[in-house]
């Protein structure tokens, strides 16, 4: 939002720049995963074929996100937000004392959650596939 006098806000200060952190792939991945996960959760055993197909799409999304986390855009790469356990603990201590720094993108605790969620969904997709085989 710009002011009528040379683009300055009240007090003569420029508004902060808008930064888009998440690229289109990450946004589409996220909302596709949310929608598909809700679908497979709600269909369960009631609608088996669409449930299984949606599970395969979820597995493909997770695989694509892992590749994008290795080779994708700057903020999508795991290297930009996955930190060591000591750094995560330090961040959590800072958070508890209300002194944690701000991050553009995921903070260290958010990075742990991303890895945990991708791993959990990957395990769910794998065990779901295993249930379709004769061995399981």
Query: Is 117 inside any structural domain?
Result: yes
Is the pLDDT reported for residue 2 higher than 50?
Answer: no
Query: Is 13 inside any structural domain?
Result: no
Q: Average per-residue pLDDT in the chain?
A: 89
Query: Is 4 inside any structural domain?
Result: no
Which residue range is the domain that position 70 belongs to? 20-96+104-130
Query: Is 10 inside any structural domain?
Result: no
Q: What is the pLDDT of residues 61-96, one digit of tens each?
A: 999 999 999 999 999 999 999 999 999 999 999 999
Q: Are 75 and 104 in contact (CB under 8 A)?
A: yes
Q: Are 126 and 97 in contact (CB under 8 A)?
A: no
Which tokens hold the place of 30? Answer: 């996220």
Number of domains in the chain: 1
């Amino acid at each position: 939002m710009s002011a009528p006098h040379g683009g300055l806000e009240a007090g003569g200060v420029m508004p902060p720049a808008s930064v888009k952190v998440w690229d289109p792939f990450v946004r589409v991945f996220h909302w596709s995963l949310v929608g598909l996960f809700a679908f497979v959760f709600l269909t369960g055993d009631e609608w088996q074929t669409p449930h299984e197909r949606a599970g395969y799409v979820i597995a493909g999304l997770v695989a694509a996100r892992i590749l994008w986390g290795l080779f994708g855009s700057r903020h999508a790469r795991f290297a930009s937000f996955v930190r060591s356990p000591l750094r995560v603990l330090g961040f959590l201590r800072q958070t508890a004392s209300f002194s944690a720094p701000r991050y553009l993108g995921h903070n260290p605790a958010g990075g742990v959650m991303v890895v945990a969620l991708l791993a959990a969904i990957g395990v769910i997709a794998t065990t779901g596939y295993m249930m379709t085989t004769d061995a399981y």
